[in-house]
Amino acid sequence: MIEVRGLGVSFPGSSSPVLRDVDLDVAPGEQVLVLAGSGAGKSTLLRVLAGIVPQVVDAQVTGHVLVAGLDATTTPTADLATKVGTLTQDPADQLCLPTVLDEVAFALENRGVDPALIGPAVERTLAAVGAAHLAHRRTAELSGGEGQRIALAAALVADPRVLLLDEPTALLDPAAARAVAAAVRAAAGADRSTVMVEHRLDELGRLPARVLVLGPDGRVRSDGATQEVLHDDSRTLAQLGTWLPLSAELSAAGVGALGQLPVAPGSPSRSGPRVLRARGLTVRRGSRTVLDGVDLDVHAGRVTAVVGLNGSGKSTLLLALAGLLTAAGTVSGGSVGLVFQHPEHQFLARTVRDEITWGPRRARATDVDDRVAGALDAYRLTGLEDRDPFRLSGGQQRRLSLAAMAVCGHDVLLADEPTFGQDRRTSAASADSLRRLADEGRGVVLVTHDLRLVGEVADDVLVLRGGQVLAHGPVDAVLADDGLLARAGLPLPPVLAAWRTTDHRLRDVLRALHAAADRATSVPA
């Protein structure tokens, strides 16, 4: 179904090729998972298969690429679309029409299908992805998970021979991610080949039978049966910075189960004075109460994680704490900084250096140069000083937005989904920097749906549901409470389930796992 030989791709203005000498054969009905670190060409490979690179996005492409018998490098994208369906990360980029019905029918209309056949096909496809109830909604009103299911239906409606999936669950909360992953699984038929790029392997449920690993140089590192590749090459994979399922992570750490891992107890976080006090925070939008009487104390040296499903009021709570929207109730205490979910929304300057300098200069700080130099170093931005923030990679943008806020020296730092859509290495770096800021004596509040991240950095957890506080307590107690997590709608990641079988503190266990994987990967293979 797919035959790729000697594929090389380089983008204009880039010094080295993104992909080199890639060979890939995918049989009809076969499913392939592509793993690689950031910038290693996963998305580029999918875009070549979809006929986007080099036809819509300019690039130099060598080798030959046959998809369902068509040359993907020369067949117009729209013609190739008769055989190939594509699903990407963000529903906002894929839902182009005002209503769900028009959106799903679009691909059939473009193929000139008889209008009498389109209605039933749309209905069938919506039912197949579990979205029949959304048929009469407007696309602008859909949640992320709903939007992603509609985008999947829109890709599947024309019954493509090949389905390309580029991190379809990256931007969803755990419950929505599992629902979309299930729909994707159901979409893979006996005569439909799928090629999938995905970070959230634990959410997938069942992994595709075959894995292709791309190295940082853009070459194929390994290609084979999933179980073999994940376990035999787990160290290599950990080294590449890709997410791994727990079992592979354990094998990279050289143990069979989490309980066998030697764990050294760390020192608990010191709790300093209270730096922020919020009482009775209530936010209404129209007739809806988005946040309902939330109390929160933030202490220096501690990280509080706020968890809950999308729409539970997490982001609104941060906006209210930062004084960015009108809320009933009181907030008192020190100065507050907030790192937003999308780094691009916060950029104010045309170079990385000016971006970091912005805050301290506005604050008329005296040691601006020292602070900026320190931040460039701490956030690994040295060498990028003169680059345009809008032209950085996703991981670099994330580090820059954290650096630009950290350098202001606020008493309280709030962060909204700082690891959203990032690979393992960038996520770990973001988590480390938040922990470091707390250890320096600031109060940190972190909104996330990644419970593992919560375990790695947080001291306390605030669980929200429907704008109300469901629970607030120490991280180990909250994450051990199954009833509570079920009521909050938060599925437990496998690594946390495994932690419960040990007698150690969660953070110590996760650190030990991390350290063991790091040690293993630093040994030359």
Partner 1 sequence: MNRLGRALPHDSLLHRRNPTVKLAVFFVVSVLLLVPVDPWTPLALLVVAVPAVLAAGRIPWQTLGAAALLFGPFACSLLAVNAVTRDGPVVAEVLGLEVTGTGVAIGAALALRTVLVGILAVAFSLTTDGARLMTSLHQHARLGARPTFAVLAGYRVLEDLPERWMTIRQAQSVRDPRRRAGTLPRDPGSLTRAAFTLLVVALRQGERMAIAMETRGLGSGPRTVHRPVALDRRDAVFAAVVLGVCALVVLASWHVGVLRTWDTV
**Nearer of residues 153 and 238 to partner 1, judged by Cβ:** 153
| Tokens read off for 171 | 């931007």
Beta strand residue intervals within 129-239, DSSP E: 162-166, 193-197, 210-214, 220-225
- What is the DSSP track for 346-377? G--SSSHHHHHHHHHHHTT-S-HHHHHHHHHH
- Shortest Cβ 314–partner 1 spacing (Å): 15
Report d(CA 180, CA 53) in Å as an integer: 26
In the complex, minimum distance from the CB of residue 389 to partner 1, in angstroms, rounded to a whole number: 10
Nearer to partner 1, 169 or 269 (CB): 169
For 252-277, the DSSP string reads HTT-SSGGGS--PPPPPPPP--EEEE
Q: Which is nearer to partner 1, 23 or 90 (CB)?
A: 90
Residue with Cβ nearer partner 1 (81 or 183): 81
Q: Which is nearer to partner 1, 169 or 251 (CB)?
A: 169
Hey, what are 88's tokens? 């990407």
The amino acid at residue 17 is: P
134: three-class secondary structure by DSSP: helix
Structure tokens at 24: 């890939």
Strands ordered across the beta sheet of 70-71: 19-26, 2-10, 60-67, 70-71
The distance of closest approach from Cβ of residue 204 to partner 1 in the complex, given in angstroms and rounded to an integer, is 23
Pairing of strands 210-214, 412-416: unpaired
CA distance from start to end of the chain: 35
**Closer residue to partner 1 in complex, CB, 56/257:** 56
Nearer to partner 1 among residue 9 and residue 154 (C-beta): 154
Which residues touch 120 (CB under 8 Å, ≥6 apart)? none
Give the nearer residue to partner 1 in terms of CB position, either 153 or 454. Answer: 153
The nearer residue to partner 1, 287 or 501, going by C-beta atoms, is 287
| Cβ 295 to partner 1 shortest distance, Å | 18
**Tokens found for residue 310:** 């999308």
Closest approach of Cβ 52 to partner 1, in Å? 6
Helix-helix angle 368-378:394-406, to 10 degrees:
140
At closest approach, how far in Å is the CB of 169 from partner 1? 18
Nearer to partner 1, 13 or 286 (CB): 286
Give me the residue label for tokens 């040359």. Answer: 71
CB 383, min distance to partner 1, A:
23
- Using a 10 angstrom Cβ sphere, with 0-12 exposed, 13-18 middle and 19 or more buried, the burial of residue 51 is buried
Shortest reach from residue 420's CB to partner 1, in Å: 14
Return the SS3 of 32: strand
Q: Are 365 and 371 in contact (CB under 8 A)?
A: yes
Cβ-based neighbours of 15, under 8 Å, separated by 6 or more? none
* φ and ψ at residue 210, rounded to 5 degrees: -130, 145
Closer Cβ to partner 1, 157 or 454, answer by number: 157
Cβ 19 to partner 1, closest distance in Å?
Answer: 19
DSSP β-bridge partners for residue 220: 214
Q: How far is the CB of 446 from partner 1 (least distance, A)?
A: 16
Give me the least distance between CB of 512 and partner 1, in Å please. Answer: 36
- Take residue 478 and report the two structure tokens written for it: 């909250």
